[in-house]
Amino acid sequence: MMTADSPPSDTLPVAQEQAAPAVKGVEAIRHALKTMPLSPGVYRMLGSKGEVLYVGKALALKKRVTSYTHINRLPERLRRMVSETVAMEIVTTHTEAEALLLEANYIKRMKPRFNILLRDDKSYPWLMLTDAHAFPQIAKHRGKAVKGASLWGPFASAWAVNQTLNLIQRVFLLRSCTDAVFNARTRPCLLYQIKRCSGPCVDRIDQHAYGQLVEQAREFLSGKDTALRETLGQEMNAAAEALDFERAAVLRDRIRALAQMQESSVINPASLQDADVLALWQEAGHACIQVFFIRGGRNNGSRSFFPAHTQDASPADVLSAFIAQFYDDKPCPAQILVNYELPESLLLTEALSLRRGRKIEILAPQRGEKKQVLDHAVTNARDALSRKLAETAGQAKLLQGVADVLGLDAPPERIEVYDNSHIQGAHAYGVMIVGGPEGFNRKAYRKFKIKGPVTPGDDFGMMREVLERRFGRALKEAEEGDTSNWPDVLLIDGGAGQYSAVRSVLDDLGVTGVKLVGIAKGPDRDAGKEWFYTEDKEPFQLDLRDPVLYYLQRLRDEAHHFAITTHRSGRSKTLVKSELDDVPGIGPARKKLLLNTFGSARAIKQAGLAELEAAPGISRETARAIYGHFHPDWTPG
């Protein structure tokens, strides 16, 4: 059985001289084969610095890895991979399905250069119901599962989960406030006034009646909304016959809200209850996979993904690699719909069923309602890829314009922009943002908390520290042969003075091959009248309508915004430090217990000794220590 990236046996041979650079790699693979078993497992190709170049899985390791020694049969991408290989590592597994799961985990963690990669660095929001509380809270949740809580999802975006949360509040009147707020309330909040909460915090509903609302919400989230609407309809009719028109109106509004939710979904197929719809579209060497999340018969939104390294991969290979990596860290639904037949469908089904603990299906429907849903997803994938390619083409044109303006030999692949922010030297931070062919590379952004003593207003000193830390590390990486994070252009916000200062820092560090550019606003500080400073060129301005000017302004403004938000975040952490942090013997756990019980540090400070001693999880000695801290004149009896 072949993996998504297995070398094809029918590839045409290439000239012997083209295979020559791979001879050392072939020898390294042959050396590893001497002790390699025939059992199932995962293999890793390693480069000269120990980096993982490629991860693959196999039913029979020795048989699969042997195929890499036939260099003339490999496509160009895998020939390059073999040529860089100096060693191999393997991990054996009991079955090929286990090997597939381990392979996907390794690929997501190690991000090898020669694998098809899922670029998915975002967590997914869920709806959470806190079962352990007498009056459960409904809320958004990201991250790991919480003990004593039920989760529904995932949702494609915060907007999608907010829509459902608003509906839950309108229809089932469940509280969304935190336990601390719930315990501190003495009168109904605004949500109660606008009929979005039943007011359990102030006893406007008893525990039994609230529990019924919770069970109805569970039925709705589990896809049983049809039966729920029938039940609510019967209750509304009974209330109307009993002349309880106020309750009948409330029930009517709840039924309408349920119907509105049913109609608002873009796709809401009756034949799909718990499924993900995966549609792939390929064009110009790029791929987009559109995913629709359907849970409980409702569409929880969609998201577009653009896997990397798909130029020479078939649609089925891309989808197979995507599925294995996508479900590596998230629950798999009962059904997965795809728009291509997958050669490894049975193996993927076995592996995902093993992870889920229940049987799952991977289907490629050819007709009917499921096919219509899939076609809708394909259209979305095609449109998303078209937009992505248009953005990429526009970005390429901008970078070529930057190269022309700055006299570069080629469009820059990496532009780094630096800025700093502080108040009179306090809470000083420097930042670096990165732009390139893919737009803003936010994963490469860096924050630098200024360590050395800073004289208020000494921006040069702060910039020197940031650059020394940034390029001190980069120079070490370059000595080891890694220049992947080396910038082509370094942009700073400032005129001739700032330019000269940064130039001297780079010269002192021995940094070469980087185009330094200073961007300074004109005398009136009007956007559009910026002056640019760079070497071998007199200061110059760009035409107000020049898109390159607008692009460089965006880079500068992005760095400025990132510097300000970083500074504010650091300052806020200091300003919001709780008074409890100074109480001896109070760590994070007890601090949380106290805040959940009393609601705020101020309430704890004002609490009596008896109240503190009665707080859950707080011993008598701890209570006396807290009371004594806030009442220094108190003498223990």
Tell me: pLDDT of 98 over 50: yes
Tell me: pLDDT of 53 over 80: yes
What is the DSSP annotation of 206-238? -HHHHHHHHHHHHHHHTT-HHHHHHHHHHHHHH
The pLDDT, as a whole number, for residue 19 is 45
The pLDDT, as a whole number, for residue 423 is 65
pLDDT, tens only, 483-527: 778 899 999 988 888 899 899 989 988 888 899 999 988 666 566
Tell me: pLDDT of 103 over 80: yes
Measured from the Cβ of residue 635, the count of other Cβ atoms closer than 10 Å reads 6
Instruction: Tell me, rounded to whole angstroms, the distance of Cα 258 from its chain centroid.
Output: 31
The pLDDT, as a whole number, for residue 379 is 92
Look up residue 60 and give its two tokens: 């029979």
Look up residue 111 and give its two tokens: 């991000």
Tell me: pLDDT of 1 over 80: no
Tell me: pLDDT of 410 over 80: yes
**Averaged pLDDT, 304-332:** 90
Q: Where residue 321 falls among pLDDT bands split at 50, 70, 90?
A: very high
More reliable by pLDDT, 632 or 181: 181
The pLDDT, as a whole number, for residue 184 is 84
Tell me: pLDDT of 601 over 80: no
126 CB contacts (<8 Å, ≥6 apart)? Answer: 140, 141, 142, 151, 152, 153, 154, 155, 161
Q: Which of 477, 446, 448, 473 is nearest to 461 (CA)?
A: 448
| Cα dist from 464 to 160, 178, 491, 556, 567, whole Å | 45, 45, 14, 18, 18
Q: Where residue 18 falls among pLDDT bands split at 50, 70, 90?
A: very low
Please state whether the peptide bond connecting residue 154 to the residue before it is cis, i.e. omega within 30 degrees of 0.
yes
Look up residue 53 and give its two tokens: 């170049």
Q: Where residue 13 falls among pLDDT bands split at 50, 70, 90?
A: very low
The pLDDT, as a whole number, for residue 206 is 92
Q: Where residue 574 falls among pLDDT bands split at 50, 70, 90?
A: low
The pLDDT, as a whole number, for residue 435 is 92
Buried b (16+ CB within 10 A) or exposed e, 574-592: eeeeeebeebeebeeebbe
**Averaged pLDDT, 387-393:** 83
The pLDDT, as a whole number, for residue 347 is 93
- DSSP single-letter state for residue 194: T
Distance CA 500, CA 606 (A): 57
- DSSP single-letter state for residue 49: T
- DSSP single-letter state for residue 146: P
pLDDT, tens only, 437-451: 888 888 889 988 888
Least confident of 21-35, 226-240, 275-289, 539-553: 226-240
pLDDT, tens only, 245-296: 877 887 787 777 776 655 544 455 566 788 999 999 998 888 999 999 988 8
The pLDDT, as a whole number, for residue 291 is 93
List the domains of the chain with CATH numbers: 16-110 (3.40.1440.10), 126-264 (no CATH), 274-386 (3.30.420.10), 415-563 (3.30.420.340), 579-630 (1.10.150.20)
584 CB contacts (<8 Å, ≥6 apart)? Answer: 625, 629
The pLDDT, as a whole number, for residue 7 is 42
Q: Which of 3, 4, 9 is nearest to 67 (CA)?
A: 9
Distance CA 627, CA 637 (A): 13
Tell me: pLDDT of 579 over 70: no
The pLDDT, as a whole number, for residue 10 is 40
**Averaged pLDDT, 550-567:** 88
The pLDDT, as a whole number, for residue 485 is 84
602 CB contacts (<8 Å, ≥6 apart)? Answer: none
Computed over every residue of the chain, the mean pLDDT equals 84
**Averaged pLDDT, 460-466:** 85
The pLDDT, as a whole number, for residue 587 is 77
pLDDT exceeding 90 applies to what percent of the chain? 34
The pLDDT, as a whole number, for residue 5 is 45
The pLDDT, as a whole number, for residue 264 is 47
pLDDT, tens only, 123-168: 788 999 998 899 999 999 988 878 888 888 888 888 888 888 888 8
Buried b (16+ CB within 10 A) or exposed e, 474-497: beeebeeeeeeebbbbbbbbbbee
For residue 479, how many C-alpha atoms fall within 13 Å in the half-sphere facing its CB?
8
